[in-house]
Each structure stands twice: as structure tokens, then as C-alpha cells.
């Protein structure tokens, strides 16, 4: 019976001094989850409500905020439950589902940032063609491609993981991310190849396109007047900050799957908490403060007295 249970349930052994810091973990994670849901939901609601924000750039920002809500909801309730539990376990099927949500949302993030870079490229480098290129239909296609292509890829990868034999039933993590590969008896060449293909067309190629787009924007801005440079700085800087931040966290997540399992548990926990805490809060903070129109509506919402 115990053997069957071990085949079904996985132990999450990524917490450090959980018994001693259980309350601290819970307060930090619960507070962060509420802030993530409220801040990202506020950004989405502002964009939906105000007609002057019904532009492609803001629609992509709303999509990123929705991603943050979905990503956090796939992680935080389970983490909060584990922090209060004596045993930190998860069924392997639930672990695979969490893995699918985390990475399909994460990959779509890169594709959405790619769509945003293209939107900025057309807006600044081809302003006269912008209304005919960035139509509502095209924006909808970009959104569907971002979510659907990443979901299809990671659905396949999740199925391959489900069919792989397990020899270990615990890993040094608090969520089912790439660390989950420590459970496999052997490294599957099929999974490795499948993952490499996904890395190329979901991350590397979009990243190269983003670099190309912003290089063109930089060249055009340098050759143009002050007004074009100001517009480029206002709209492109927040996207670049989010991209750089997200890329650094993704690089860690890719590397952690390749290093040995004796990588210090404390270092793993700190980096995992950065991914869980930092990025979902970073998006609304940057877009709320740096995007002029969103910032204006936020001030009206939270400081109505100043607008009288």
C-alpha cells in the first residue's frame, strides 16, 4: 500500500526551516498573493473600463496581467496549504497539471512581449501604416497564438513527462517546475529534444525578434526628433524592463534543471521565491508607474481629491 502511495504522491522538500518559520512564510506568501491579485486585476479593469486604453499596447499589458493572475493562482493556494501542513506532498497528476500551467503561461509571456515589441516597432517606425497593421483582428490573432501555441507545446511535454518512469518521489522544490525532472529514473532524450525545440521557437526566436525590433526603434529614434525619442522612451522602457527581468528569471529556471540535485536548498528556495513573488508584482508596478495613461487613471482612482 505504501509503495502505491509513493507512486502517486510526491514530497516537496524545498522549504528551509519550515517548522521554525512557518508563520513567516505564510504571512509573506499570503500578503504577496493578495497584492498580486489586486494589483493585476486593477490594471486589467482600468484597461477594460477606459476607452482611451483600448489600444493594442494596453491590451497586451492586460493579457500579461491576466497571465500573472493565472500563474499565481496555480502556485499560491498550494504553497499556502503546504506551509500550514505537517507534510508537503502533492499527487503526481496535480504536479503535472501545475507544471503545465506554469510553463504554458510562462512561454506565452515571451510571445506576448514579442507582440508588444512588434506593436511598438510599427507604431514608431511605420506610424502611417499602424492603423491598418495593428487592427483588432490582428491583435486577437496575436493573443490566440501566444496562448494556444504555448499551451499545445507544454501539453505535449506534460504527456511525455506523465509516461516517464519515476525512481525518486521527492524533490528540492516548493512547486512543480523544472526541478521535477529529478524524479525521473533517467534523462529522456525525447523530452530533452522536445524541450530544446520549444526553447528555440518559444524563447530564443521571439527574443531575437524583440532585439531586432528594439534595435530598429533605437535607430529610428536616434535619427528623429525629440518627440519621437520621448514617445519611444515612454512606451518602450517599461517593456524592456519587464523583458530583462523575466529573461533573468527564465535563465535561472532553465539552468536549475541542468545542475546536480545537491545544489544548495537555501539558494533554490531564494530563487524560487523571487520567481513566485517578484515577477507577478513587478509587471503592474512598472506599467502602473511608467505608462503615462495607466498612471493617470490610477491616480484618479486612488487620489480622487487631487482631481477635483
Q: Residue 14: inside a domain, yes or no?
A: no
Q: Residue 11: inside a domain, yes or no?
A: no
Rounded to an integer, the average pLDDT of 142-169 is: 91
SS3 call for 184: strand
Is the separation of the CB atoms in 268 and 175 below 8 Å?
no
Q: Residue 12: inside a domain, yes or no?
A: no
Q: Residue 8: inside a domain, yes or no?
A: no
Q: Residue 104: inside a domain, yes or no?
A: yes
**Residue 33, domain CATH:** 1.20.1070.10
Q: How far apart are CA 49 and CA 67, in angstroms?
A: 19
Q: Over the stretch 288-305, which tens digit does the pLDDT of each residue have?
A: 666 777 878 777 777 665
pLDDT band (50, 70, 90) for residue 19 = confident
Is the separation of the CB atoms in 164 and 191 below 8 Å?
yes
Q: What is the pLDDT of residue 1?
A: 36
How high does pLDDT run on average in the chain? 83
The greatest distance separating any two alpha carbons of the chain, rounded to the nearest whole angstrom, comes to 74
* pLDDT tops 90 at residue 112: yes
Q: Residue 40: inside a domain, yes or no?
A: yes
DSSP structure string for 40-109: HHHHHHHHHH-GGG-SHHHHHHHHHHHHHHHHHHHHHHHHHHHHHSSS-EEEHHHHHHHHHHHHHHHHHH
- Number of domains within the chain: 1
Q: What is the pLDDT of residue 35?
A: 92
Q: Over the stretch 68-105, which tens digit does the pLDDT of each residue have?
A: 999 999 999 999 998 888 888 899 889 999 999 999 99
Rounded to an integer, the average pLDDT of 36-51 is: 90
pLDDT band (50, 70, 90) for residue 262 = low
Distances 136 to 35, 41, 106, 121, 297 between C-alpha atoms, Å:
31, 22, 24, 17, 23
CA 36-99-30 angle, to 5 degrees, is 30
Q: Residue 9: inside a domain, yes or no?
A: no
Go through 121-136 and write b for each residue having 16 or more CB atoms within 10 A of its CB, e for each that does not: bbbbbeeeeeeeebee
Q: What is the pLDDT of residue 88?
A: 86
Structural domain boundaries enclosing 46? 22-307
Q: What is the pLDDT of residue 62?
A: 92
pLDDT band (50, 70, 90) for residue 306 = low
Percent of the chain with pLDDT over 70: 92
Q: What is the pLDDT of residue 21?
A: 81
Q: Residue 211: inside a domain, yes or no?
A: yes
For helices 18-49 and 292-302, give the axis angle rounded to 10 degrees.
100
Amino acid at each position: 500500500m505504501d509503495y502505491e502511495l509513493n507512486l502517486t504522491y510526491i514530497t516537496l522538500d524545498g522549504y528551509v526551516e519550515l517548522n521554525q518559520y512557518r508563520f513567516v512564510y505564510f504571512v509573506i506568501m499570503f500578503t504577496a498573493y493578495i497584492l498580486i491579485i489586486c494589483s493585476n486585476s486593477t490594471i486589467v479593469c482600468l484597461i477594460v473600463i477606459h476607452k482611451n486604453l483600448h489600444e493594442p499596447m494596453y491590451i497586451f499589458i492586460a493579457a500579461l496581467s491576466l497571465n500573472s493572475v493565472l500563474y499565481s493562482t496555480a502556485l499560491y493556494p498550494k504553497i499556502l496549504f503546504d506551509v500550514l501542513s505537517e507534510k508537503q506532498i502533492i499527487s503526481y497528476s496535480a504536479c503535472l497539471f501545475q507544471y503545465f500551467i506554469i510553463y504554458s503561461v510562462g512561454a506565452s509571456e515571451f510571445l506576448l512581449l514579442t507582440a508588444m515589441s512588434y506593436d511598438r516597432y510599427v507604431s514608431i517606425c511605420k506610424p502611417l501604416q499602424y492603423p491598418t497593421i495593428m487592427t483588432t483582428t490582428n491583435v486577437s490573432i496575436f493573443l490566440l497564438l501566444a496562448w494556444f501555441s504555448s499551451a499545445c507545446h507544454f501539453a505535449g511535454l506534460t504527456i511525455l513527462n506523465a509516461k516517464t518512469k519515476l525512481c525518486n518521489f521527492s524533490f528540492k522544490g516548493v512547486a512543480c517546475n523544472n526541478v521535477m525532472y529529478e524524479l525521473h529514473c533517467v534523462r529522456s532524450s525525447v523530452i530533452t529534444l522536445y524541450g530544446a525545440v520549444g526553447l528555440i521557437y518559444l524563447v530564443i526566436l521571439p527574443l531575437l525578434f524583440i532585439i531586432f525590433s528594439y534595435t530598429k526603434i533605437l535607430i529610428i529614434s536616434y535619427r528623429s526628433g525629440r518627440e519621437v525619442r520621448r514617445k519611444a522612451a515612454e512606451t518602450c522602457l517599461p517593456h524592456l524592463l519587464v523583458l530583462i527581468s523575466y529573461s533573468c528569471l527564465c535563465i535561472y529556471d532553465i539552468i536549475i534543471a541542468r545542475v546536480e540535485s545537491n545544489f544548495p536548498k537555501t539558494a533554490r528556495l531564494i530563487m524560487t521565491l523571487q520567481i513566485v513573488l517578484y515577477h507577478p508584482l513587478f509587471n503592474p508596478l512598472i506599467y502602473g508607474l511608467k505608462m503615462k495613461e495607466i498612471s493617470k487613471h490610477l491616480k484618479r482612482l486612488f487620489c480622487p481629491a487631487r482631481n477635483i
